[in-house]
Structure 1
Amino acid sequence: MKNTYWFAVDYNGTGHLFIYKPERDTGIWTGEESLYIPQGALKEMFPGITWQDAPIAVTLEVLPCEETFRLRLSKICSYFLKKYLRLPGKEKEKQS
């Protein structure tokens, strides 16, 4: 799933990803924020972005998580244990 966000840097150097294009206010960008980026976290990706620059449109793609063999095996075992294993304590509670 791909989404477009707007990346802008406040006067103090803190970055933000916005859902919609933000507007410049006194020292900060205002708008519907989706994610706060700690100061300097994206310096490698956006090295020259400062307060004076306009927001940049960024397209991010969220990739599905791959299920590992161990996780799949754990889910299968959990399913069978819940389905076929009867604990005596829980049956007594149901009968009461």
Structure 2
Amino acid sequence: MVATLTALANQTHLSGKPLNPLTYEIIILANNCSDDSATIARQFAQQHPELVLHIAEVTLPPDLAYIGQRRKMKPFIKPYYGWMRGFAIAPWCR
């Protein structure tokens, strides 16, 4: 997860210049995690205060805990974090 967040933090424009971190948000949806994903993300956020990084933890029932359901949660999460230009899901949790 740290490698992915670091890559996002180091995004560059096509011109090669770093992206202004105020022009995008990183949203992590940690659902049904039994590892330290949310804690790792929070620590990364503390180490990179220039980033707009949101961490949402949810526990879904087993019949809803699959990648398709996480994609369907976009409308649920959006009101809590304002508008989003993009929405990517990386299943870090084991």
TM-score category by the smaller chain? under 0.3
Q: TM-score, normalised by structure 2?
A: 0.19
Using structure 1 for the length normalisation, give the TM-score: 0.19
Larger gyration radius, structure 1 or structure 2:
1
More helix per residue: 2
Which of the pair is proportionally richer in strand? 1
